[in-house]
Amino acid sequence: MDKASGDELAPIDPAAISQRKLFTGAAMPAVGLGTFGSDRVTPAQVAEAVKGAAAVGYRHFDCASVYGNEAEIGASLEAIQAGGIKREELWVTSKLWNDKHNDVIATCRKSLASLRLQYLDLYLVHWPFPNFHPPGCNVTARSADAKPYIHEDYMKTWRKMEELVNLGLVRHIGTSNMTIPKLKLVLRDARIKPAVNEMELHPHFQQPELFNFVMENGMQPIGYCPIGSPGRPERDRTAEDTAPTQDPVIVEIARRHGIHPAVVCIKWAVQRGQTPIPFSIHNYRANLAGVVGDPLTDEEMREIAAIDRNCRLIKGQVFLWKDGQSWEALWDVDGEITPP
């Protein structure tokens, strides 16, 4: 339900969306459209949503080669620009998949060709673990040559990411699914530091320590699964998972503002300082409208801060490199990089 119900289809002025200033001085829209169809939504549907989202005011799109829809999104990006929105008004992110850590430049060029772009605004190393597993595989699947985080190897990949910037193919580079001890090493050794860290962030998984570390080190946290990913694949669900949109605190705030609980999650994210990238093919306008006007009060922000449950939804089990390990090993929960 959109509060401005008489105005449901009217575009939102992109100039009204707050921008995140990155360390380069570049401005990134503080909300973007996610494009992972979660095996349920086809590439054509996602590509249609990208066009529709641009028409209602989105300028930031979070893509990845592994989502299997960059070619379709590329056609939409071309149509969007043909319709008069300039390339420099768009912010397009893509990501290097895990089996391509040794083939950065050619892989990035492939994404650029699919997306029909001359450059990306942001290119991320999707996960810090180099291993291959087929798309859609079960969480119990293990790659025979799965590896832990090996900093020297990550830096070899990072040097190539830096080269992408020098080649003018990419404006910013960043990390994703990192932890504080891993980021400390990358920040120590990078020639071009990560502009962002993309990480799971929603009211039930606020990651305050990592969030603060990222902010204090001049990076921007991009928050994935900002609504708690209600449409995520079955393989990414466990009995312990909770849904922020069903939390009584979120439901009550939504009632007060006359908006969907999902929109409360987006408002909270932007007001807290991260950049949420909600996926949607049906509700993207409401999510964007949510970040313009009618802010959450300080008291509501405090109420949401208090409902963190440390509930990680995307656990990353497929990246485990040894039998019998639990997924926590991927996330350095003791504050040290989990030894090989």
Ligand X SMILES: NC(=O)c1ccc[n+]([C@@H]2O[C@H](COP(=O)([O-])OP(=O)(O)OC[C@H]3O[C@@H](n4cnc5c(N)ncnc54)[C@H](OP(=O)(O)O)[C@@H]3O)[C@@H](O)[C@H]2O)c1
Residues recognised as catalytic: 67
CB count within 10 Å of CB 11 equals: 14
Count the alpha carbons within 13 Å of 159 in the hemisphere toward its beta carbon: 7
Encoded tokens for 23: 């360390």
In the complex, the smallest distance separating the C-beta of residue 138 from ligand X, rounded to whole angstroms, is 17
| Of positions 281, 291, 318, 337, contacts ligand X by CB under 6 A | 281
End-to-end CA, the chain: 49
**Residue 176 lies near ligand X (rule: CB under 6 A):** yes
Nearer to ligand X, 167 or 282 (CB): 282
| Of positions 115, 262, 296, 318, contacts ligand X by CB under 6 A | 262
What Rg value do the Cα atoms of the chain yield, rounded?
Answer: 19
Single-letter code of the amino acid located at 256 = R
In degrees rounded to 5, what are phi and psi of residue 120?
Answer: -105, 150
| Of positions 29, 128, 221, 226, contacts ligand X by CB under 6 A | 226
Nearer to ligand X, 22 or 201 (CB): 201
**Residue 52 lies near ligand X (rule: CB under 6 A):** no
In the complex, the smallest distance separating the C-beta of residue 67 from ligand X, rounded to whole angstroms, is 7
Smallest CA-to-CA distance from 288 within 312, 309, 262 is with: 262
Distances (CA, A) of 292 to 95, 265, 289, 295, 333: 29, 14, 5, 8, 36
Nearer to ligand X, 146 or 168 (CB): 146
**Residue 291 lies near ligand X (rule: CB under 6 A):** no
Query: How many Å apart are CA 130 and CA 126, to the nearest integer?
Result: 10
DSSP state of 202: B
**Residue 232 lies near ligand X (rule: CB under 6 A):** yes
**Residue 225 lies near ligand X (rule: CB under 6 A):** yes
Nearer to ligand X, 36 or 321 (CB): 36
| Of positions 193, 197, 278, 318, contacts ligand X by CB under 6 A | 278
Q: x/- site string to ligand X, residues 241 to 260, per CB under 6 A?
A: -------------------x
CB count within 10 Å of CB 315 equals: 18
**Residue 98 lies near ligand X (rule: CB under 6 A):** no
**Residue 76 lies near ligand X (rule: CB under 6 A):** no
335 touches 180 (CB < 8 A): yes
In the complex, the smallest distance separating the C-beta of residue 211 from ligand X, rounded to whole angstroms, is 15
Contact set with ligand X (CB under 6 A): 34-36, 62, 126, 176-177, 198, 224-232, 260, 262-263, 277-283, 286-287, 314
